[in-house]
Structure 1
Amino acid sequence: MTQHVSEHDVRAIAEYARIRLADDEVPQMTGDLNAIIESLAPLLQYQLEGVEPTFHPIGGLANVMRPDVEEAGFTQQQALANAPTASEGCFVVPSILGEGGDR
């Protein structure tokens, strides 16, 4: 198998990607990356001169979302109507930061 990347390259890539590799993992990762690169070698047999890149396999897609139309919202009283607890026009929820009580 051809050596496309060295252990030095793998260490540099890992450092750039902020991936911590132990010393015993570097040879395995080097072999894996070289195998992946080697598996792509058959793509080199195709003559792609002048072929336009395809950015999306299904051309001519249109937005299928509805238009963004502004609609009237709830009043504050309507929003708080089913709230278990409200205070001064706001929802009261249990504290999650360990301070106890409701906020």
Structure 2
Amino acid sequence: MDFAKMFQRGGIIAGTAAACSILLPIHGASLSTSSLTVWALIVTGAAALILQTGKYHVAERVEVIGITLKTSCAPSAPCPSTSSAPRYSTRRAWCPRAMT
């Protein structure tokens, strides 16, 4: 069981490092080996520091606030109106019914 949890932690750290590397490549191009390594070290160090100091409640509160803001802003996000949606051409060559 503990052996399987190592893979789970590795996947979480690698996924977070990959997302951070895409968002802000530190050393080299995004998703390069050097950028992923640096981000993996930063993520691992930050997680160890949060757990060692017992400040997980601070990180949890920040995440709850962030998710709440994203959820409350989502309904007001701009959506394309139906008037600007692409329309099918009425020419016979492009009309699917004309081809039958």
TM-score (normalizing by structure 1): 0.27
Higher relative contact order (CA 8 A, sep 6+): 1
Structure of higher CA gyration radius: 1
Structure showing the higher helix proportion among its residues: 2
TM-score (norm 2): 0.28
